[in-house]
Amino acid sequence: MSNKESVVICRCEEVTYGQLQTTANEHKCTARELKLRTRAGMGFCGGRTCRLTLDRIIESVIPEVLSSEIPLKYQPPIRPVTFGTVGGNQ
């Protein structure tokens, strides 16, 4: 595995560039399908750190796709809560 392939793109789910590129090339999948197959973008940050890279990988595999057709987006939490609230210690 080359240095480029071992770069972690999705830190939350520990998905590497090589895994994303291999999956995209093998399945010729959409951005949503790539996300579901690799779990990239499904971690704690919701894709805020890796979404743009996922879009670029799909654009390189399927050149005729427009960036407006790539349906990935990140979903921030509605409102922040404390761990005490989540754990029931108010």
Residue type at 52 in one-letter notation:
L
CA dist., res. 18 & res. 9, Å (int): 9
User: What's the whole-model pTM score?
Assistant: 0.68
Side-chain-side CA neighbours of 48 within 13 Å: the count stands at 6
Residues of the chain where predicted confidence (pLDDT) is lower than 50 = none
Structure confidence at residue 89 (pLDDT): 63
Structure confidence at residue 62 (pLDDT): 77
Domain boundaries, the chain: 8-87
